[in-house]
Amino acid sequence: MAGIRLDRVRKAFGGFVAVQGLDLDIADGEFLVLLGPSGCGKTTTLNMIAGLEQPSSGRIVFGGRDVTAEPPHTRNVAMVFQSALLYPHLTARRNIEASLRRSGLDAAERERRIAEAARLLENGELLDKLPSRMSGGQRQRVATAKAIVREPAAFLLDEPLSALDAALRQTLRAELVNLQKRLGTTTVYVTHDQVEAMTMGDRIAVMNGGRLEQVGTPGEIYGRPETLFVAGFVGSPPMNLLAGAVADGRFRAGELEVPIAGPEGRAVLGVRPQHVAVTPELAPGTLPGTVFALEHLGRESVLVLDNAAHQRLRVLVEPEFRARVGERLFLRPDPARCLLFEPESGRCF
């Protein structure tokens, strides 16, 4: 196994800079998730770690060894992609064995590794099937077995679950995390799905526009976002963000007043939907809003409101909560749970 370090890694395609001066340390045995919207540079970063792309500048280090100029096959990494890359004319067993074709291992050791990978993924019954006879989830399990059987220093996964249905994604998320913990292999997982990131990663590296916005545990990313982008991107429903100003120890935005410490001047207040109370009665300092929708999620509901500034705000309410579209309600954020951001830089105060 090996830790991975990216030292001021930059990648440009002509005049377009896909990754800008990325510094990132991935610990030996860690499950790190690269999270961000499409085009943010996360797949390019993964491809540079794999050796499929060469950095324009900077270094990539595996366990103290500079591998920046090394080809993929010398890095001892295994990749799993969004589409399970299997030979359609080969059984699962032969597909898995193909990963060992140039390994120099004898037949007995190859068979042992295939059997062990099948055991770990509980797909022994698939070994004699062709890909055309498998479901999408089964094909992805075989593709993962192809990666495991090589016993690599690192697993690199590029949105491997995004083509599957929601129920199957949930099942395979747990299976992949369980497998990684049992193997202890350093893993880098690319996704745009924040639920995958929050439920799978030991740490999450949030990227935006080729830059690293924040790295931290799921709890740190969710509970203490360092930038406006992270605050708005991570969380379902997302954090409510209100532009206003701080003066005399209070944040003000229209009729809303929240007692909160912070530098005086323009600011953006952030508060999670579960940290906002709703009342039908006007009270000093509350924020009026008009009901836009009420989304029922089973164990809870999401109340969606529009305020006078035409901002759409979300509040988590009890499943039995009832409200009519167009009804006027009033919101009171919990001051102890609010965050303040600097509008220009987007940084949290």
Residue 308 in tokens: 């006078």
Listing DSSP states for 48-89 in one string gives: HHHTSS--SEEEEEETTEE-TTS-GGGTTEEEE-SS----TT
Higher pLDDT, 161 or 336: 336
- Strand, coil or helix: what is 255? coil
Return the closest-CA partner of residue 95 out of 49, 134, 122.
Answer: 134
Question: Rounded distance, CA 193 to CA 183, Å?
Answer: 24
Q: Which amino acid is at 219?
A: G
Over range 186-198, report the average pLDDT: 95
Question: Rounded distance, CA 7 to CA 60, Å?
Answer: 6
Which residues lie closer than 8 Å to 221 by C-beta, 6 or more apart? 198, 204, 206, 214, 230, 234
Sign, CA torsion 125/126/127/129: positive
Q: What is the tens place of the pLDDT at every residue in 154-190?
A: 999 999 888 788 888 888 898 889 989 988 999 999 9
At 1 the pLDDT is 57
Q: What is the tens place of the pLDDT at every residue in 79-118?
A: 988 877 899 999 999 999 988 887 788 889 988 988 888 8
Using N-to-C axis directions, what is the helix angle for 136-148 and 107-121, rounded to 10°? Answer: 140
Residue 107 in tokens: 């037949």
Q: What is the tens place of the pLDDT at every residue in 225-280?
A: 999 999 999 998 999 999 999 999 999 999 999 999 989 999 999 999 999 999 99
Sign, CA torsion 117/121/126/130: negative
**Domain 237-341: CATH architecture, name and number where available:** Beta Barrel (2.40)
CA torsion 38→42→48→49, rounded to 10°? -150
b/e per residue, 293-329, with b = 16+ CB within 10 A?
ebeeeeeebbbbbebeeebebbbbbeeeeebeeeeeb
- Average pLDDT of the chain is 93
Residue 157 in tokens: 């996964």
The ranges assigned to domains in the chain are 4-228, 237-341
Banded model confidence at residue 125, pLDDT cuts 50, 70, 90 = confident
Banded model confidence at residue 151, pLDDT cuts 50, 70, 90 = confident
Q: What is the tens place of the pLDDT at every residue in 264-278?
A: 999 999 999 999 999
pTM (2 d.p.)? 0.90
Percent of the chain with pLDDT strictly greater than 70: 100
Q: Do domains 4-228 and 237-341 have the same CATH topology?
A: no
Q: Which of the listed CATH numbers 3.40.1280.10, 1.10.630.10, 3.20.20.450, 3.40.50.300 matches domain 4-228?
A: 3.40.50.300
